[in-house]
Amino acid sequence: MRKFIRFALFAAALGVWATTTLAAPRVETDPKKEYPCTPDSGAWMICVHEFRGQDSGELARQLALVIRQRDNLPAYVFNFTEIQREKMKAEWSHLGKLNPDGTKRDLHVNIPEERVVLIGGFADMDAATTALKTVKKLALPQLRLPGKYALDRITVMDVKGDGKVEITEAEMNPFPTSFAAPNPSIPHQQVARKADPFLKTLNENEDFSLLANPKPWTLAVKEYVGDSRVVSRTDSTPFLESLFKKKSGDSLNATALQAHELARVLRSLKFDAYVLHTRRSSLVAVGGFGAENDQDMQKAAEKLLQLKLQTMDGRAQGLDLFAVPMEIPRP
């Protein structure tokens, strides 16, 4: 009995984050309720996954419910699209733009749908980082999206001893790539932020790297997100570290190539275009500005939104640009 008491006190002193113990109270899970990310969700959180596209809302809702019910963790959904839309409307209203007849000019911006699923309840970065070790070990969530892939796909090429290649495909578990981050619903001025240091590696061979832009702000105009990743079991170089090397034309994935090509086209049209490769996507940006409300930024946004691009076969689908102010990361 005395040994048990000592063990219990030792575990409590370590501050063990109990996620599966019987004593842990159940986290509310109601399929009829929404669990939006708010400032009350904690100063620091664990970012689990980003969903983009027309199904992002439904998939984010499903994942949050799985985390709450199966893993008994307080999961929330952050509606990035709505925040950006309201922000741009507010900025546009301050400009007082009018039509030739004197009526107020409406703002029409194509902002991709995006939802982020997070686990909250952490007072500081250390608490979130400690809990992250447990989150990374969580099992693959089962999401349902009839006729479509719910999660990113990973294709694994396994080279056998006889030289034959075995290819398998499976859904990518989002939990191992989770990371600690400030609560996105809290204004960034209130939370000290640090960019992902791995951005330097991902962008070191990009000719149009956004990291080389000396200004603090830019305009994000297009984001390319990959649906799958190819990993070779025999490759001695870690996949992410070799993803953007130019030693082989096949080493760049499709999203990186698309972003690079769009930046090249925009530069040919006299736009100061850049590319930022991240762990999950490749983003194209235009310009460098001294502040978020820079007048030159507003002029550049208007010019970009009037631009019409089309593919070589004449299709314009997929080339619609948006114009969202973005603070340039400094890893």
Higher pLDDT, 22 or 285: 285
Q: How many helices (H) and strands (E) does the chain have?
A: 8, 11
Quote the CA–CA distance of 70 and 16 in Å, as a whole number: 20
Rounded to an integer, the average pLDDT of 41-65 is 91
Q: Who has greater pLDDT, 161 or 212?
A: 212
Looking at residue 85, its pLDDT comes to 65
Q: In angstroms, rounded to a whole number, what is the distance separating the alpha carbons of residues 188 and 15?
A: 28
- Alpha helix locations (H) across the chain? 2-14, 56-70, 80-95, 125-135, 199-203, 239-242, 254-268, 295-305
Q: Range with the lowest mean pLDDT among 45-49, 78-82, 176-180?
A: 78-82
The better pLDDT of the pair 2, 81 is held by 81
- What is the rounded CA–CA span in Å between residue 133 and residue 120? 15
Residue 87 binned pLDDT confidence (cut-offs 50, 70, 90): low
pLDDT confidence of residue 194: 60
What percentage of the chain has pLDDT greater than the value 70? 68
Is residue 287 left, alpha or beta, with left meaning phi > 0 and alpha meaning psi from -120 to 50?
A: left
**Residue 72, Ramachandran bin (φ over 0: left; ψ between -120 and 50: alpha; else beta):** left
- pLDDT score recorded for residue 172: 85
Higher-confidence position of 320 and 315? 320
pLDDT tens for each residue of 177-203: 888 888 888 875 544 456 778 889 889
Lowest-confidence pick of 45-49, 266-270, 302-306, 320-324? 320-324
Tens digits of per-residue pLDDT, 114-147?
A: 889 999 999 888 899 999 999 999 999 999 888 8
Supply the pLDDT for residue 13: 37
**Confidence band, pLDDT 50/70/90 cuts, at residue 8:** very low
Q: Which helix (H) or strand (E) holds 304?
A: helix 295-305
Mean pLDDT of the chain: 75
pLDDT for the residue 37: 93
CA angle, 280 then 34 then 31, to 5°: 100
Whole-number pLDDT of residue 317? 41
Greater confidence (173 vs 106) lies with 173
Closest CA to 307 of 241, 222, 193: 222
> Helix (H, G, I), strand (E, B), or coil: what is residue 253?
coil
Report residue 189: phi and psi, to 5°.
Answer: -65, -20
Q: Is the pLDDT of residue 314 over 70?
A: no
What is the layout of strands, in order, in the sheet containing 179-182?
75-79, 114-122, 44-52, 179-182
Query: Which pLDDT value is given to residue 238?
Result: 37
